[in-house]
Amino acid sequence: MSRYQVYLIDDDEAVREALAFLLGTYGISVETFGDPQTFLAHVDEAKPGVLVVDLRMPEVSGLQLYQRLAERGIDWPTVMITGHGDVAACRRAFKAGIQDFLTKPVDGEVLVEALQQGFSSLDSRLEKREARALLAKLTEREREVLDMVARGWASKEIAASLEVSARTIDAHRAKIAEKLGTSSVAEQVRLALLSGA
């Protein structure tokens, strides 16, 4: 089973069923929706996944759906599938930050590959989001100290630079370890870099 859910939004029932069936054989769990509105009504931020969206749908197009999700802070990787390779539509989609753009009929391998990349992308996005959330807990002083730690400075050097005692610095570092949930300097540095990216 895949780490993430795949949300398939297409107005054609046969296409929905067939793609879900195919992805099922890859062990990818697929949830299907007949139109964007239904998906928008059901979408749960707590259940991140990769979207497979038909570009051309009545009322709300695939691109519009992507933009509405972005407005709600949902930036899950999206693979756009379309009946015809309209270059203009393709460019617009990539500008908007779409993960991939595939034309129907979609080859299973290609789709699965695009989904795998989507999963990785989703992984890193989630990590970054997590890192930012952790770093957001630090005070300004703690953030300053963490930056110096990330540069490889020892506590004494940091204390000298900030014109405080080394003990004060140690207290900050203990607070940082507590807030980030790890005493590993390497892990702390990774989080700092992730959030800064």
Partner 1 sequence: MTSPLSTSRLLGLALWLAALLAFALYSVETSKARLAGELEVTGRTLHRLISQRAAQHDAHMTSLIALTSGAEPAPLGAVRQVMESIVRFYPRIAWIALVSLGEAGGGAGPATGGAGAASGSGAESGAGGMGAASAGAADAGSAAEAGVAGTASGASGAAAGAGGVRMLVEVPEGGGEDLVPLRGAISEQLRGKIGVHASGKNGRYLLAKRAQAPSDAALVFGIDAALLLEPEERPAWAHLRLTLDGQTLLDLPGDDVLGAGASFVQPPHFEKVIDGEGQRILLSLDRALPLDALLPLRSLLGFAVLAGLASFALMFALRQRAAAQQSQQVARQAEARALLQERETLLAHASRVNAMGELASGIAHELTQPLTAVLSRSQAALRLAGAEKPDLGMITQALDVNVREAKRAGEMLKRMRDYASNKAPEPKPSALNGIVSEIVALTAADLERRGVKLELDLAVEAPEAVVDPIEMEQVLHNLIRNAADALEAAGILDARISIATKIVGEDVKIEVADNGPGIAPDVLPKLFVPFFTTKADGMGLGLSLCQTLVERVDGRIEAGNAAVGGARFVITLPRAKSRNAEAMSGRQDG
User: Quick one: tokens of 4?
Assistant: 């993430």
The stretch among 37-45, 63-71, 79-87, 175-183 that binds partner 1 (CB under 8 A) is 79-87
Q: Which of residues 113-172 bind partner 1 (CB under 8 A)?
A: none
Question: Tokens at residue 151, please?
Answer: 């540069």
Interatomic CA distance for residues 65 and 15, integer angstroms = 19
The tally of CA atoms less than 13 A away on the side-chain side of residue 63 is 13
Q: Does 25 bind partner 1 (CB under 8 A)?
A: yes
Site string for partner 1, 101-120 (x = CB under 8 A): --xxxxxxx-----------
With contacts defined by CB under 8 A, name the span among 11-19, 121-129, 134-142, 162-170 that binds partner 1.
Answer: 11-19
- Pick from 3, 38, 67, 83: which binds partner 1 (CB under 8 A)? 83
**Which residue from 6, 19, 52, 53 is in contact with partner 1, where contact means CB under 8 A?**
19
Q: What minimum distance in Å lies between the beta carbon of 25 and partner 1?
A: 4
Under the binding rule (CB under 8 A), the answer on residue 59 touching partner 1 is yes
Q: Out of 18, 150, 166, 171, which residue is the one contacting partner 1 (CB under 8 A)?
A: 18
Q: Is 171 exposed, middle or buried (0-12, 13-18, 19+ CB in 10 A)?
A: middle
Q: How many CA atoms lie within 13 A of 1 on its CB side?
A: 5
Long-range Cβ contacts of 55-59 (<8 Å, 24+ apart): 55/80, 55/81, 55/82, 55/83, 55/89, 55/93, 56/82, 56/83, 57/9, 57/10, 57/11, 58/11, 59/35
Residue 119 Cβ vs partner 1, minimum distance, rounded to whole Å: 19
| Closest CB to partner 1 among residues 103, 168 | 103
What residues make contact with partner 1 under the rule CB under 8 A? 12, 14-15, 17-19, 21-22, 24-26, 56, 58-59, 81, 83-84, 103-109
